[in-house]
Amino acid sequence: MPSLGTWLAAFFTLCMLSFLYKDNPFFRLAESFFAGLSLGYYIGIVMNQTLKPNLVLPLIQDFHANWNLVFAAGLGVILYFRYVKRVAWVSRWALAVYVGYYVGVNMMQKLHGEVIPQIGNTMLSLRYSGVDTLSNLVMVVGVLAVLIYFYFSAEHKGVVGGVSRIGIWFLMISFGAAFGYTVMGRVSLLIGRMVFLVNEWARPLIGSIT
Amino acid sequence: MNLERVMQVDRRIIYLFVAIGTILPIIFVIGLPVSITPPVQMAFDRIENELQTGDIVLMSFDYGPSSAPENAPMADAMLRHCFSKGIKVVVIALYPLGGLSEAVNELNKVTAEFPELKYGVDYVNLGYKDGAQAAMKKMAENIHEVFPTDVNGTPLDRLPIMKNIRTYRDMKLVVSLATGIIGEWWANLVNAQFGIPVIVGPTAVSAPKYYAYLEAKQMAGLLGGLKGASEYERLVVNRYPKLGEVYATPGLYTATKGMDVQSIVHLIMIAFIVLGNVVYFTTKRKPRKAS
Amino acid sequence: MKRQLPLLLTFLAGTIPIVAFFVPERHVGLVSTTLDSWLIIVAGFALLLGVVNVIQMNANKIHRRSSGWPYAIVLLLSLAIMGFFGFAGAFDMFGGIATRPDGSSTPFDWLYKFAFLPLQGTMFALLAFFMASASYRAFRARNVEATILLIAALLVMFGRIPFGEMVSKWFPLATEWIMGKPNMAAQRGIMIGAALGAASMALRIILGIERSYLGIGKGE
């Protein structure tokens, strides 16, 4: 006989799947339960895995060495000032640091970690040396054509228009491949749930009845 | 038969085909063979040929239940590979919605198959951390400050494996099992700025983009979705036949078995797309009757 | 103070990681890595901000008896249950939030395995059905571009499954070539364009030209 947990998991799985027939109260119930659990999950991981080991314990155990973390806690707390009308504007300070930091990190990530290596790796030899030359040509033409397609400062006519059309073809191949992969991904998730229903719920259930 | 009516078939009929196509191969396993692609072979070779017994791998669980059927078999296969070869594994999680629990449960499952391994000596779970990019950057300076304790609150200085691990320089490789964008950050932030080789196992949905990182050598290997996971399973079973017994466990969900189901459902979807186009072209040529 | 200080803070917080990247000097590195430590904590606080928002919204819904208010009770109840075990876990009650040393589940982990995981997993699994139905109705070879898209999709779908490999070894080879060459080239083009766009937006934010995220207009 399946365990209580397996019954609960099967019930929730079937509630969600019932949406395929039509919207119904079981689906809405499961959906609301899921949203609540997600937020409750955040409370658990943030309190237990970040705030406790990285803020509370260092301050309690060795305040002298970790006093600077008080500023981090302060920034975190003033994020919540937005809910108090009179001092809501103070929450902008924390938001400014939060957004500023991630934008700065992201800028270096994009320029140093994407633009430079990707452009560098597109500078390929086109001198004929066999099949590899064809692949190199496809890559160089593909990257340039797609970039030209996204370049809107010149009208897409004549040579620019022709090259940007090739860019569209490359994009279509990529979107088609992405579609195929997306199907594969979504089907994998379905397989995961069906394997649970068949192997962990239905089989033990049938086994216990027969 | 009126072809236009074929196009107006109730969506639930299509759903039924997909459901049956999924359930039947789960009950009756077909056992179709899986061929190996270069990105997965690269990932396998990196661990098999370039790492030695005792080397450290950082494995980041950057996914949750929304992609677990794809990412979990990758994690299992790579953990089994590392443990079979005597490589030590430091596990972390950076994905908020389930990364921690996936890391805990998958690690428990695989380590139960290797009773000789000792927690804190051969592997460790440092748990989850917020602010993924900030944590990744800080780890280049001091991992102990990012993860002062392991997942259960044990201070790192009580875990022998962590004594000689301070930064990325003390580890040989990062493996990220990723949904969404975190896997990219391992390539365009950690590999780009700190140089440690990175292998990513992304979901199939994001795999096409990762080919650009792989081609630019910002990644040392790529496992794209369930297919990538099934290839890795085959590679580890071929190299370590003992693992074949684990993968043959009845009722155990594996990517290889999943690919059987994938085959049938893909064929059903291809058939529907082709049928839709046949009807489209047939009805387009016929002049429409005035209603 | 209300307008200029946030802009100055954004500038400083944004410039520190950039300067630290270019200047390998100890003190600069120290400032940058201290900021990294802070932001791990601030990100934790920010994640919980959403929880407060949702509680506020659903409490209002119940108070006003808006349509579907009983579901708001379910949401708050499940949030309270999971949140309670998570919060208590931080004080080492119930064995924490992972698993106990003997491998048994803590209440938090049990709720994850038997409620959260099946709910989220199935929510995303539904998309497989919707994709099948949508592609049957809308995936047509209407013109050259759509035909290229269709052929690439069918080839990849067929070449990536074991059945395709059994029909001919050329299917997986052709699929891998599509993924590794033309697909890669297009993805690279998109990546370079998007990265340049993101970097210029980052610069606008750091320099205070773009300030809508703070809720203040350009003239303010």
Chain A residue numbers with beta carbons less than 8 Å from the beta carbon of C115 are: 8-9, 12, 33, 37
CA terminus-to-terminus distance, chain C? 12
pLDDT, mean of residues B66-87? 97
Instruction: Tell me what percent of the residues of chain B surpass a pLDDT of 90.
Output: 87
With cut-offs at 50, 70 and 90, classify the pLDDT of residue B286: low
A175 interface with B at CB cutoff 8 Å:
no
A139 interaction partners in chain B (CB closer than 8 Å): 215
Count, residues in chain B: 291
Question: Of C136, C165, C169, C190, which to mutate for an interface test with B (greatest number of B Cβ within 10 Å)?
Answer: C136
Residue A36 touches chain C, beta carbons under 8 Å: yes
- Which residue in the set B130, B147, B262 is minimally distant from A188, CB to CB? B262
Degrees to nearest 5, angle at CA B40 with C169 and C173: 20
Predicted pLDDT of residue A126: 87
Q: What pLDDT is recorded for position A19?
A: 97
Rounded distance between C-alpha atoms, residue C72 and residue C59, angstroms: 8
Q: Are C124 and A186 in contact (CB under 8 A)?
A: yes
pLDDT of C24 above 90: no
Q: Kindly report, residue by residue over A91-127, the tens digit of the pLDDT.
A: 999 999 999 999 999 999 999 999 999 999 999 988 8
**Residues of A with Cβ-Cβ distance to C188 under 8 angstroms:** 118, 121-122, 139, 142-143, 146
Stretch B74-100: mean pLDDT: 97
Other CB atoms within a 10 A radius of the CB of residue B55 amount to 16
Nearest CA in chain C to B67: C121
A59 near C CB under 8 A:
no
Instruction: Determine if residue A123 is left, alpha or beta; phi over 0 gives left, psi from -120 to 50 gives alpha, anything else beta.
Output: beta
Distance from the Cα of A31 to chain C's closest Cα (Å) equals: 8
Tell me the per-residue pLDDT of C36-83, one tens digit each, with 9 for 90 and over. Answer: 999 999 999 999 999 999 999 999 999 999 999 999 999 999 999 999
Dihedrals phi, psi of B155, to nearest 5 degrees: -60, 145
**Cα B10 off chain centre by:** 35
The pair of three-digit structure tokens given for residue C145, joined into one six-digit string: 């571009």
Handedness of CA B89, B95, B99, B100 (dihedral sign): positive
Chain-centre distance for alpha carbon B142:
27
In contact, A38 and C120? CB cutoff 8 Å: yes
Q: Can you give the pLDDT at residue A58? A: 96
pLDDT tens-digit series, residues A40-84 = 999 999 999 999 999 999 999 999 999 999 999 999 999 999 999
Interface subset of C 26-85, CB within 8 angstroms of A = 34-35, 37-52, 54, 56, 68, 71-72, 74-85
**Beta carbons of A54 and C110 less than 8 Å apart:** no
Chain C residues in contact with B15 by the CB 8 A cut-off are 129, 132-133
Residue A138's pLDDT is what?
A: 94
**Nearest-neighbour CA in chain B from C7: distance (Å):** 21
Rounded percentage of chain B residues whose pLDDT exceeds 70: 97
- Strand partners of residue C99: C105
What average pLDDT is seen over chain C?
Answer: 93
Pairwise CA distance, residues C182 & C148, whole Å: 12
Look at residue A210 and tell me whether its pLDDT is greater than 80.
no
State the average pLDDT over residues B31-46. 94
Instruction: Provide the shortest C-alpha distance from residue A178 to chain B (in Å).
Output: 6
pLDDT at B291: 42
Mean per-residue pLDDT of chain B: 94
- pLDDT band at residue B289 under the 50/70/90 scheme: low
Per-residue pLDDT tens over the stretch C172-215: 999 999 999 999 999 999 999 999 999 999 999 999 999 888 87
Which residue does chain B place closest to C93, by CA atoms? B152
- Taking an 8 Å cut-off on Cβ atoms, the answer to whether B69 and C97 are in contact is no
Of C5, A188, C25, nearest in space to B206 by CA: A188
pLDDT tens by residue, C99-153: 998 889 999 999 999 999 999 999 999 999 999 999 999 899 999 999 999 999 9
Q: pLDDT tens digits for B225-245? A: 999 999 999 999 999 999 999
Q: Which two tokens stand for residue B81?
A: 């590979």
Amino acid at C137: R
Q: Are B89 and B57 in contact (CB under 8 A)?
A: yes
| Any A CB within 8 A of B258 CB | yes
Residue C49 at interface with chain B, using a CB cutoff of 8 Å: no
Collect all residues of chain C within an 8 Å Cβ-Cβ radius of residue B11.
133
Which residues of chain A have a CB within 8 Å of the CB of B23? 194, 198
pTM for the predicted model, two decimal places:
0.94
Q: How confident is the model at residue B283 (pLDDT cuts 50, 70, 90)?
A: confident
Asked if A204 has any chain B CB less than 8 Å from its own CB, the reply is: no
> HEC states along chain A?
CCCHHHHHHHHHHHHHHHHHCCCCHHHHHHHHHHHHHHHHHHHHHHHHHHHHHHHHHHHHHCHHHHCCHHHHHHHHHHHHHHHCHHHHHHHHHHHHHHHHHHHHHHHHHHHHHHHHHHHHCCCCCCCCCCHHHHHHHHHHHHHHHHHHHCCCCCCCCHHHHHHHHHHHHHHHHHHHHHHHHHHHHHHHHHHHHHHHHHHHHHHHHHHHHC
Q: Strand, helix or coil at B149?
A: strand
Higher pLDDT, B30 or B268: B268
